[in-house]
Amino acid sequence: MGRVTNNVGRTNGSPRGVASEELRRHNLATVLEHLHLTGPTTRSQLTVITGLNRSTIADLIGELADLGLVTEGPGAVVSGPGRPSPVVQVRFEGAVVIAVEISVDSMAVATIGIGGHVFNQIRIARARGHFDPDVTVRDIAEMARPLLDALPPHHRLVGVGAAIVGIVRRRDGFVHLAPNLGWRDLPLGELLAEELKLGVPVLVANDSDLGALGEHRRGGLGSINHMIYISAEVGIGCGVIVDGKPLLGSAGYAGEVGHTFVNPDGLECRCGATGCWETEAGENALMRRVHSLGSVSGLAAVDAVAELAADQDPETLKAISEAGRWLGIGIANLINVFNPEMIVLGGLYHRLFDYLEESVVAGAARSIEASRNMVEIRQSAVGQNVTLVGASELALADLIDNPARVAARGTRTGVRSTDV
Amino acid sequence: MGRVTNNVGRTNGSPRGVASEELRRHNLATVLEHLHLTGPTTRSQLTVITGLNRSTIADLIGELADLGLVTEGPGAVVSGPGRPSPVVQVRFEGAVVIAVEISVDSMAVATIGIGGHVFNQIRIARARGHFDPDVTVRDIAEMARPLLDALPPHHRLVGVGAAIVGIVRRRDGFVHLAPNLGWRDLPLGELLAEELKLGVPVLVANDSDLGALGEHRRGGLGSINHMIYISAEVGIGCGVIVDGKPLLGSAGYAGEVGHTFVNPDGLECRCGATGCWETEAGENALMRRVHSLGSVSGLAAVDAVAELAADQDPETLKAISEAGRWLGIGIANLINVFNPEMIVLGGLYHRLFDYLEESVVAGAARSIEASRNMVEIRQSAVGQNVTLVGASELALADLIDNPARVAARGTRTGVRSTDV
DNA sequence: CTTATATGTTCGACAATGCAACAAATACCT
DNA sequence: AGGTATTTGTTGCATTGTCGAACATATAAG
């Protein structure tokens, strides 16, 4: 049988003993998580993967089926002699979440079921600027309404996950600072919960942290347990996966690399300090090096740069490669610190990856040899919606971790608002 | 009952189901770890702390006692009405490890029992330089011999933990690079195992990683789960505790911060790159700013600087504060990345802490507000032997994690060599 | 149509914890 | 000094959960 924990160390606080019920919870979670991440699987494959007994798997699947979280169908694929094993798969509508993304250039809302099934999605572009939080929250609720109405009649809604460009306290979704939106000390979690009135938990997290989560879980990263996701919208965001789990830090502020110090000769950053990484490698750093852009700014400027790069404009390529070099230098630092297996670039970096790659790799080469030799730098495989996908994973995590408790906890069987 | 796991995420690789035996292992480990870290505890306290039933605690302690790992004595402290609860404590000789430290200026070996009891310890100073690995390994074996002979007759030796100033692969204790010793690609774990011939596992790790471990577990850090230990001997070393566990990274190379980039105008580092953190804040950075030192170098120079600082020599204080500022800047980066609760300074920084503190705190102030407000910077509470203590924790970890398996696994009942 | 093989199903064994009743040991009160 | 309240160890049984063996079932191959 496998081991739950490993290595030196423990989480401080009361060390808790565990009883059989915890064992059951763990095994239910293991099975459900596998189905959620890997997709349809036969019962016999599950016995091999989990190492559990046939009878136990049968029992676990029975319970998950009773909870409405999985279904069993006849084994589709034929596979040699022996009694065919039924294929188990998640029921998308058995656990649905609302994923929200509040970015610099757009806002998005999606309804996503367990297994990663996207029922529906709305994304609206908006000009950059400072926004009234209440209006934003109301907009989100309005975007969510039709999506909820369009869900299948007997779905079960289990949570809301929101990604936001800012520094967020995990415990309660309190936004400490979101400079790109003009927000500070805003209880976003509470506001969303009040406005949505859905009776389910609302979790809020930093967008890059969720990008990392989305990429790690749905980016086809096989057995990668240590990775770093880096993206740029205006600043530089970063999410880290350590040992298969998101790095949160004490309050959830971990991964705030945009304002790490890399250049004493650098410009003054909007944060007030000098020499921050994002003043060298962020979006603005790139733009200001492309003089031919003139006064265009914001998303239009990004589009223009992408076009110029596609046209092989020398100045633009040089600007990209200069920003890429600094990006690489910062990445080298992260490689030294985390010894990851993979660095994934998203956002603007994803868009410009082809022009960036060479200089980034060159810059990253200054990391220590041992770690450098085992890391791969690549662009996001999930693409534009990683963050939204990550938000859904965040909202689904509680359910997967304890299917019985969360599924039973009611969160009523999703009666459509038109039925009321 | 408590939960074993938490949060989003899982360690990739085969997700394993667990059976009752795993449950037992977990509870044995929980109890033993508490006794190991917190010291003598009454049975009734254990029921409260673990949340387990009286009968279960009795059973667990019975098993640990049978394994020779704990003893029960009459409750020493009186405590009000009710039947007094017997005090349970670890048997030091029930699990003994050899802790080894290979540093720049000294080598040390100690025999340490579970609970952190140091039976004996030898430390020898040696001049800096490059050493023949074989000679070093033989020296360690020779230092260990008398310590082993002095152990109580019926002890049980369970492992060897070695700390080394270098980049070490955790899996097998392969030293990738140890510039201060002149080593490269050296299978130190194997060499030590062969030379010591003790039939117990030999684990090797980076000295700062073990410093972090030692400080976290024996530094009186109550409920701190996120901390960073930073020390300087020649370069800068760093160990990180994330969620109560050491950050290893994919191969164990995590925390190599000495050569992170902080200054494009910086000097060339011995690593070949330019602008590394340790060229600004490491030992040499400090020394070169104290011109009155003249040609003194190595440990003698460190001593001289410490003395000059104690005498309030202005140039020295200025040099220290300059190095401290750079130290603080690097710390700010780490605060941004990890959002820790505590930064602990060791090694040279521990020695000069009083003169460093102000400038370090000033430098660290450039970290983001949210994280800065919740972090404390202080010096090591364990002091000179943190690394050795960490090495013992490393070697004991397997036993504590699975008392039944490791204790039963033989590692014979420590017959003294003179008995043979 | 028979045989080999793989897998679901059933039921009892086994492991581990929890619970309730009882016993033991102490403090406190009269 | 003796009785009572309180806390905790001990014991035996109940409960939960997984495992294993025997049996049933469904397929491929001959």
Nearest chain B Cα distance for residue A249, angstroms: 5
Structure tokens at A323: 């920003």
**pLDDT category, B415, cuts 50, 70, 90?**
very low
Q: What is the SS3 assignment for chain B? A: CCCCCCCCCCCCCCCCCCCHHHHHHHHHHHHHHHHHHHCCEEHHHHHHHHCCCHHHHHHHHHHHHHCCCEEEECCCCCCCCCCCCCEEEECHHHCEEEEEEECCCEEEEEEEECCCEEEEEEEEECCCCCCCHHHHHHHHHHHHHHHHHCCCCCCCEEEEEEEECCEEECCCCEEEEECCCCEEEECHHHHHHHHHCCCCCEEEEEHHHHHHHHHHHHCCCCCCCCEEEEEECCCEEEEEEECCEECCCCCCCCCCCCCCECCCCCCECCCCCECEHHHHHCHHHHHHCCHHHCCCCHHHHHHHHHHHHHCCCHHHHHHHHHHHHHHHHHHHHHHHHHCCCEEEEEHHHHHCHHHHHHHHHHHHCCCCHHHHCCCEEEECCCCCCHHHHHHHHHHHHHHHHCHHHHHHCCCCCCCCHHHC
Q: For residue B347, what pLDDT is reported?
A: 94
Q: Cβ of A337 and B255 within 8 Å?
A: yes
State which nucleotides on strand C lie below 7 Å from a protein beta carbon.
4-12, 14-20, 23-28
DSSP codes joined into one string, A50-109? H---HHHHHHHHHHHHHTTSEEEE---S--SSSPPPPEEEE-GGGSEEEEEEE-SSEEEE
Contact A188, A204 (CB under 8 A): yes
C1' of D3 to CA of B79 (Å):
21
Tell me whether residues A34 and B15 touch, CB distance under 8 A. Answer: yes
First to last CA, chain A: 49
Q: B306 CA to chain A: closest CA distance, Å?
A: 29
A80 closest-nt by C1' vs CA: D28
Q: Over 60: is that where the pLDDT of A411 sits?
A: no
pLDDT digits (tens, 9 = 90+) for B356-395: 999 999 999 999 999 999 999 999 999 899 999 999 999 9
Q: Residue B412: is its pLDDT beyond 80?
A: no
Residue that has been written with the tokens 């802790």 in this structure: B99
What lies within 8 Å, CB to CB, of A62 at 6+ separation is none
Q: Which residues of B touch A250 (CB under 8 A)?
A: 225-226, 339-341, 374
CB-based contacts of B245: which residues, under 8 Å, 6+ apart? A7, A8, A9, A10, A11, A243
B8: which chain A residues are within 8 Å (Cβ-Cβ)? 213, 245-246, 393-394, 397
- In the three-class reduction of DSSP (H, G, I as helix; E, B as strand; rest coil), residue A183 is classed as strand
Residue of B nearest to A166 (CA): B370
State pLDDT tens for residues A212-267.
999 999 999 988 999 999 999 889 999 999 999 999 999 999 999 999 999 988 88
Q: Report the C-alpha gap between B245 and B258 in whole angstroms.
A: 21
B174 CA to C19 C1' distance (Å): 52
- Partners of A243 on chain B (C-beta within 8 Å) are 11, 245, 248
* CA nearest neighbour of A324 among A377, A281, A269: A281
| d(CA B74, nearest CA chain A) in Å | 24
CB contact under 8 A, B20 and A20: yes
Q: Is the pLDDT score of B12 beyond 70? A: no
Greater pLDDT, A294 or A141 = A141
Whether A251 sits inside 8 A of B371 (CB atoms) is: yes
The residue of chain A with its CA nearest to that of B332 is A260
Q: Least CA distance to B249: which residue of chain A?
A: A339
Interface touch B11/A244, C-beta < 8 Å? yes
3-class SS at A49? helix
- Asked whether the CA dihedral B317, B321, B324, B326 is positive or negative, the reply is negative
pTM summary value = 0.94
Does A15 contact B22 at a Cβ distance shorter than 8 Å? no
Nearest to A260 by CA among A229, A238, A283: A238
Q: How far is the CA of A27 from the C1' of D24 (A)?
A: 27
Residue A224 tokens, joined: 């990668």
CA B18 – CA B26 distance, rounded (Å): 11
A401 neighbourhood in chain B, CB within 8 Å = 5-7
Q: Which residue has the higher pLDDT, B265 or A389?
A: A389
Q: What are the φ and ψ backbone dihedral angles of A118, each rounded to 5 degrees?
A: -90, 115
pLDDT (mean) for A30-44? 96
Q: Determine the pLDDT at residue B299.
A: 86
Q: Over chain A, what is the mean pLDDT? A: 91
C22 C1' to B76 CA distance, Å = 26
Q: How far is CA B66 from the centre of its chain?
A: 30
The string of pLDDT tens digits covering residues A135-192 is 999 999 999 999 999 999 999 999 999 999 999 999 999 999 999 999 999 999 999 9
Say if CB B275 and CB A366 are below 8 A apart.
no
Kindly determine whether residue B16 and residue A50, on different chains, have CB atoms separated by under 8 Å: yes
Minimal-distance CA residue of chain B relative to A394: B8
Torsion angle (degrees, nearest 10) of CA A312, A265, A326, A371: 160
Q: Which two tokens stand for residue A386?
A: 């990683």
Contact across the interface for B244 and A12, Cβ inside 8 Å: yes
pLDDT in tens, B308-354: 999 999 999 999 999 999 999 999 999 999 999 999 999 999 999 99
Contacts across the A-B interface (CB distance below 8 Å): 309
Give which of B176, B299, B137 is closest to B234, Cα–Cα: B299
CB contact under 8 A, A13 and B339: no
Output the pLDDT for position B78. Answer: 66
- Cβ contact, residue pair B247, A12, below 8 Å: no
Q: Is pLDDT at B4 greater than 80 in this prediction?
A: no
Q: Nearest nucleotide by C1' from A42 CA? A: C7
Q: Which of A86-95, A302-311, A402-411, B60-69 has the lowest mean pLDDT?
A: A402-411
Test B51 with A16 for CB contact under 8 angstroms.
Answer: yes
Phi first, then psi: give them for residue A179, nearest 5 degrees.
Answer: -60, -35
Mutate to test the interface with B, among A1, A25, A260 (most CBs of B within 10 A): A260
Cβ–Cβ below 8 Å for B9 and A368: no
Chain D positions with any atom < 7 A from a protein CB? 5-12, 15-21, 24-29
The residue lying closest to nucleotide C5, measuring its CA against C1', is: A82
**Highest mean pLDDT: which range of A219-223, A291-295, B12-16, B64-68:** B64-68
Confidence at residue B360, expressed as pLDDT on a 0 to 100 scale:
98
- How far apart are the C-alpha atoms of B167 and B185, rounded to whole Å? 10
The beta-carbon neighbor of A18 closest among B27, B337, B397 is B27
* Higher-pLDDT residue of B292, B1: B292
Protein CA A82 to sugar C1' C2 (Å): 15
Order of strands across the sheet with B236-242?
Answer: B245-246, B236-242, B227-232, B342-346, B376-379
| pLDDT, mean of residues A365-374 | 96
Please name the residue of chain A whose CA is at the shortest distance from the CA of residue B244: A11
Min Cα distance A307 → chain B (Å) is 32
Cβ–Cβ < 8 Å for A239, A210: yes
- B14 pLDDT above the threshold of 90: no
pLDDT of residue A414: 45
Between CA B172 and CA B250, with CA B337 as vertex, the angle to 5 degrees is: 20
Contact in structure between A255 and B337 (CB atoms under 8 Å): yes
Q: Distance (Å, rounded) from C-alpha B169 to C-alpha B278?
A: 22
pLDDT in tens, B52-97: 999 999 999 999 999 999 999 886 666 788 888 999 999 999 999 9
Q: How far is A319 from chain B (nearest CA, A)?
A: 19
Mean pLDDT on A355-376: 96
- Please give the average per-residue pLDDT across B240-262, as a whole number: 96
Cβ neighbours for A353, distance < 8 A, ≥ 6 positions apart: A345, A379
What are A58-116's pLDDT values in tens digits? Answer: 999 999 999 999 999 886 666 788 888 999 999 999 999 999 999 999 999 999 999 99
Banded pLDDT at A5 (limits 50, 70, 90): very low
Assess whether pLDDT exceeds 50 at residue B3.
Answer: no
Residue A9 has pLDDT above 60, yes or no: no
Q: What is the pLDDT of residue B218?
A: 96
Average pLDDT over residues B121-141: 94
| pLDDT for the residue B401 | 96
Task: Indicate the average pLDDT of chain B.
Answer: 91
| Chain A residues whose beta carbon lies within 8 Å of the beta carbon of residue B259 | 336, 366-368
Protein CA B83 to sugar C1' D4 (Å): 14
Q: How far is the CA of B177 from the C1' of C22 (A)?
A: 65
Residue B155 contacts residue B414 (beta carbons within 8 Å): yes
Burial class (CB in 10 A: 0-12, 13-18, 19+), B37: middle
Please give the pLDDT value at position A409. 66
Q: Which of A47, A177, A261 to probe the B interface (max B CBs under 10 A)?
A: A261
For nucleotide C16, the protein residue with its alpha carbon nearest to C1' is B20
Tokens of B74: 């009459």
Q: Look at B1 and A21 and tell me if their CB atoms are within 8 Å.
A: yes
A366/chain B closest Cα distance in angstroms: 7
Alpha carbons B306 and B348: distance in angstroms, whole number = 9
Q: Are A70 and A35 in contact (CB under 8 A)?
A: yes
Considering only residues B78 and A356, tell me which one the structure prediction assigns the higher pLDDT.
A356
Rounded distance in angstroms from the CA atom of residue A211 to the C1' atom of nucleotide D17: 38
- Give pLDDT tens digits for B385-399: 999 999 999 999 999
Q: How far is the CA of B4 from the C1' of C21 (A)?
A: 32
pLDDT value, residue A299: 86
Residue A28: closest CA among chain B residues belongs to which residue?
B17
